[in-house]
Amino acid sequence: MSKLYRRFDALEAVRKAESTLLARNGSGKMNMNIAEIFGENCLSIDTLKERLPKSVWKVLKKTIRDNAPLDFEVADAVAVVMKEWATEKGATHYTHWFQPLTGATAEKHDSFITPNQGGGAITQFSGNDLMRGEPDASSFPSGGLRPTFEARGYTAWDPTSPAFIIENGNGSTLCIPSVFASWKGESLDFKTPLLRSIESLNKEALRTLKLFGEDDVTWVNATGGFEQEYFLIDQEYYYRRPDLLTSGRTLFGAKPPKGQELDDHYFGSIPDRILSFMLEAERELYRLGVPVKTRHNEVAPSQYEIAPIFEKANVAADHQQLTMITLKRIARKYGLVCLLHEKPFAGLNGSGKHANWSMVTSKGNNLLEPGDTPHDNMQFLFFFAAALKAVYEHQGLLRASIASAGNDHRLGANEAPPAIISAYIGEQLDDIVEQIKSGKAKTTKESGLLGLGIPVLPTIPKHAGDRNRTSPFAFTGNKFEFRAVGSEQTVSFPMTVLNTAVASAIDQMTTALETEMSSGSDLEAALETVLHNTFREIDPILFHGDGYSDDWQEEAAKRGLLNLKTTMEALPYFTEEKSIELFEKYNVLSEKELESRLEIYLEQYFYKLNIEAETTEDIVRTMIVPATIRYLNEILAVNDRGKASGLDITSTKTLAEEVNTVLSQLLVAVDKLRKVNEDLGGDTIPEKADHLSRVVLPEMNKVRVLSDKLEKLVPDDYWPLPSYREMLFVK
Ligand code: ADP
Ligand code: MG
């Protein structure tokens, strides 16, 4: 049988995969006693407390809970405990685990073992090793902050996120969550600014809480719960799709007759192999101390979702990275590939990452929980208003923080939120906001009187947000849900922007409160004024209609809201004056650090599109064109022989013409693509990125349309790429 039939080998393998893989992995012997296994591969606060000398624990606890600085003596003691714990778990190596600006995570493993003079070896791990690492970091992007000849960057332990162990059949490694900075102290990662933003939020919120008389609150932290959507396909298909291999998404593929229109996949029962995969992935996450909670099918065929219980934002962000890594790793054991790309399949829903966000105090109170007492309600309304003000003031920056080549396929595509950032707060709260705006906040729709001073807020339905899926930023009962984040993105940066913008809004509103109060108002009256002004100011950001409609595009423009449709339009907001001022004022990122991030984001965008363009060209020339020519050759042979034997060959001739016409158009289009992609469009990264988005991307799309047309003409057994129908439905 000729090589042409490779695609069917894949189908054959997939057919057999389920039973063999299940027999190998899903033997039903996995310990799923969650209480027993939860956190066994994670160095929890409890274990540290148990094993550390009391005096050391007291200092460390202050660092973990209150972000107090840590000294080396404490680090030495912690290092001893950490090494002990890790070696008990079979770890031979350790690594500082960090989030470089590529968006993935990075690790460089060092052994605990040091040879000694007597020819043996001892294990060693000091406070110094724990606190600081020096990876040879010249290949991580720095956006001009660290020239390659000054390769030294260093990693530093982040004691607020627990260390954990990554196992492999042949050994284990202790992972120490860390920040990553240049030798001059400039941040080269996502975690540093996240930690700084949490600190700014803490500082400003504490200031407010003092005014509210909450003197015993010692810290405020952001909370995060991140819902992850992903696709699973059989690896046999993956290996036969060069586009999935290089770009994480299909660059070709005709729409199958059946897509997601029947909605029969959503919340449907989960196939066996997939369920086995989920169980094992969840088990691994439990062991790492990641509190995953829900799983279900998503809207598109072969699309799923996993969501955790929320945690403090920094830990939640690390756990989100671990979740992505674990999904990818465990999928392979089941012969599957986990696709985290925002849009692996054209014409089907893409994947997002709903980022649920709120603020919690040291007393365990959620600051976005409407309360039972007038006092709690006033406080709630203050922080609620501050979050809305943050979104209003920094729409551009929020949009920029989630800009990527992948997310461009999603935002505004009638399945994900539009590119316009607006907020949805539900009917009840909208009613209250209206009343406060008009200065008559005395009644509510349902339960009579509203205080500022008067009883309680009505019960806000927790699932109010679900009634408007089109909103990018929705209040869902006791938290906000930022829904525009892409499935493959790190949540750290959008959370950093949100924290900082909210810190700034709280700061401004608290200052206004203080001003009112210093001129004689009591807290209640001062608050009434501040809320009145704030809700009036932020009015344009509130939108309760259909975010997918054309009317909204017009209406948003009238309101002066930004509508940044692409990455290239959004990214400049990183270094807008307002953004620089914000980040510098709250010591989250310096202007230089912001500029470097802009450059890295542009660079990533440029590389991704360039790889896609080259892969497109490659697949067309080496797979699609040859397959089409073989077919054409075959029809022509029929024509020749048909004519010789006196058959009427009119219709086969028409068919040959049809195939030939599309083939010729495709050859012209792919030639054009090659030419425009050879031209770099300029010397600088912004010029190159702009060229790709404006000139190359449209040519790529034209090539795809023609190729997809051929997929419907060329015989199925000649077509070299696994089809959408196969990848999504044969499993
Ligand atoms: P919904 O049905 O509105 O999506 P869920 O209760 O299912 O709400 O929660 C969705 C996600 O939001 C979960 O990951 C959950 O942990 C998270 N979440 C809930 N409360 C908070 C909070 N206070 N802060 C951050 N995330 C939260
Ligand atoms: Mg949700």
pLDDT tens-place string over residues 487-504: 999 999 999 999 999 999
Side chain identity at residue 30, one-letter code: M
Residue 657 forms part of a structural domain? yes
Tell me: pLDDT of 458 over 60.
Answer: no
Q: Is 366 in the pocket of ligand 1 (CB under 6 A)?
A: yes
High-pLDDT (> 70) share of the chain, %: 89
Residue 354 forms part of a structural domain? no
Query: Both 138 and 210 in a single domain?
Result: no
- Of 134, 168, 188, the position where a domain reaches its end is 188
**C-alpha distances in Å from residue 560, one per residue of 432, 541, 554, 574:** 24, 9, 10, 19
Give pLDDT, residue 1: 36
Two tokens, residue 649: 């060959």
**Ligand 2 geometric centre to CA of 227 (Å):** 7
Query: Both 624 and 693 in a single domain?
Result: yes
Query: Both 40 and 77 in a single domain?
Result: yes
Two tokens, residue 544: 């309760």
Q: Is 307 in the pocket of ligand 1 (CB under 6 A)?
A: yes
Whether the model pTM is above 0.85: yes
* Locus of tokens 């599957």: 336
Q: Is 224 in the pocket of ligand 1 (CB under 6 A)?
A: yes
Tell me: pLDDT of 26 over 80.
Answer: no
**Ligand 1 geometric centre to CA of 473 (Å):** 14
**Ligand 1 geometric centre to CA of 474 (Å):** 12
Phi, psi of 216 (to 5 degrees): -90, 0
Phi, psi of 292 (to 5 degrees): -70, 150
Residue 637 forms part of a structural domain? yes
The CATH number covering residue 141 comes to 3.10.20.70
Ligand nearest to the CA of 310: 1
- Of 172, 188, 204, the position where a domain reaches its end is 188
Mutate to test the pocket of ligand 1, among 310, 353, 368 (most ligand atoms within 8 A of CB): 310
Q: Are the beta carbons of 135 and 108 closer than 8 angstroms?
A: yes
Residue 163 forms part of a structural domain? yes
How distant is the alpha carbon of residue 27 from its chain centre?
A: 33
Q: DSSP of 320-375, one letter per residue?
A: HHHHHHHHHHHHHHTTEEEE--S-SSTTS---BEEEEEEEEETT--BTTS--SSHH
Query: Both 381 and 401 in a single domain?
Result: yes
Query: Both 180 and 213 in a single domain?
Result: no
Query: Both 642 and 562 in a single domain?
Result: no
Distance of alpha carbon 299 from alpha carbon 7, whole angstroms = 27
Query: Both 521 and 617 in a single domain?
Result: no
**Ligand 1 geometric centre to CA of 309 (Å):** 7
| 91-97 vs 109-111, strand pairing mode | antiparallel
Two tokens, residue 518: 């210093």
Q: Is 603 in the pocket of ligand 1 (CB under 6 A)?
A: no
Ligand nearest to the CA of 225: 1
Distance of alpha carbon 306 from alpha carbon 508, whole angstroms = 37
Give pLDDT, residue 191: 93
Q: Is 221 in the pocket of ligand 1 (CB under 6 A)?
A: no
Query: Both 410 and 546 in a single domain?
Result: yes
| 303-308 vs 220-234, strand pairing mode | antiparallel
Query: Both 177 and 211 in a single domain?
Result: no
Tell me: pLDDT of 454 over 50.
Answer: no
How distant is the alpha carbon of residue 665 from its chain centre?
A: 38
Residue 76 forms part of a structural domain? yes
Distance of alpha carbon 59 from alpha carbon 53, whole angstroms = 10
Q: Burial of 241 by CB count in 10 Å (0-12 exposed, 13-18 middle, 19+ buried)?
A: buried
Q: Is 357 in the pocket of ligand 1 (CB under 6 A)?
A: yes
Tell me: pLDDT of 267 over 70.
Answer: no
Query: Both 708 and 623 in a single domain?
Result: yes
**Ligand 1 geometric centre to CA of 462 (Å):** 10
Half-sphere exposure of 381 (CA within 13 A, CB side): 34
Give pLDDT, residue 464: 47
Range of the domain at 123: 31-188
Two tokens, residue 356: 């649920």
* Locus of tokens 């365990």: 364
Q: Is 358 in the pocket of ligand 1 (CB under 6 A)?
A: yes
**Ligand 1 nearest atom to the CA of residue 356, by list position:** 26
The CATH number covering residue 695 comes to 1.20.120.1560
Distance of alpha carbon 182 from alpha carbon 132, whole angstroms = 12
Q: What is the mean pLDDT of residues 303-314?
A: 96
* pLDDT tier at 468, thresholds 50, 70, 90: confident
What is the radius of gyration, based on Cα positions, of the chain? Answer: 28
* Locus of tokens 């289009």: 669
Mutate to test the pocket of ligand 1, among 479, 482, 485, 498 (most ligand atoms within 8 A of CB): 479
> First-to-last CA distance in the chain?
24
Residue 111 forms part of a structural domain? yes
Q: Is 223 in the pocket of ligand 1 (CB under 6 A)?
A: yes
Mean residue pLDDT of the chain comes to: 88
Q: Is 476 in the pocket of ligand 1 (CB under 6 A)?
A: yes
Nearest one of 105, 114, 153 to 324, comparing CA atoms: 105
Distance of alpha carbon 444 from alpha carbon 424, whole angstroms = 18
Side chain identity at residue 65, one-letter code: R
Give pLDDT, residue 110: 85
Query: Both 99 and 133 in a single domain?
Result: yes
Distance of alpha carbon 212 from alpha carbon 517, whole angstroms = 12
Give pLDDT, residue 485: 96
Report the b/e string of 143-178 with b at 16+ CB within 10 A: bebbeeeebebbbbbbbbbbbbbbeeeeebbbbbbb
Distance of alpha carbon 230 from alpha carbon 341, whole angstroms = 8
More confident residue, 123 or 385: 385
Distance of alpha carbon 601 from alpha carbon 273, whole angstroms = 37
Q: For the segment 208-257, what is each residue's pLDDT rounded down to a tens digit?
A: 999 999 999 999 999 999 999 999 999 999 999 999 999 999 999 998 87
Q: Are the beta carbons of 423 and 597 closer than 8 angstroms?
A: no
**Ligand 2 geometric centre to CA of 211 (Å):** 33
Query: Both 201 and 149 in a single domain?
Result: no
Residue 239 forms part of a structural domain? no
Q: Are the beta carbons of 461 and 429 closer than 8 angstroms?
A: no
Q: Is 306 in the pocket of ligand 1 (CB under 6 A)?
A: no
Give pLDDT, residue 265: 65
Residue 330 forms part of a structural domain? no
For residue 117, the 8-state DSSP code is T
**C-alpha distances in Å from residue 605, one per residue of 418, 431, 589, 617, 685:** 20, 42, 22, 19, 10
Two tokens, residue 642: 């048909």
Two tokens, residue 202: 């803490």
Q: For the segment 47-92, what is each residue's pLDDT rounded down to a tens digit?
A: 999 999 999 998 888 877 766 677 778 888 999 999 999 999 999 9
Total domain count, the chain: 3
Distance of alpha carbon 310 from alpha carbon 481, whole angstroms = 12
* Report for 150-159, 416-425, 652-661: range of highest mean pLDDT: 652-661
For residue 714, the 8-state DSSP code is S
Q: Are the beta carbons of 707 and 623 closer than 8 angstroms?
A: no
**Ligand 2 geometric centre to CA of 419 (Å):** 19
Tell me: pLDDT of 148 over 50.
Answer: no
Report the b/e string of 369-403 with b at 16+ CB within 10 A: bbeeebebbbbbbbbbbbbbbbbbbbbbbbbbbbb
Tell me: pLDDT of 581 over 80.
Answer: yes
Q: For the segment 349-391, what is each residue's pLDDT rounded down to a tens digit?
A: 999 999 999 999 999 999 999 877 766 788 999 999 999 999 9
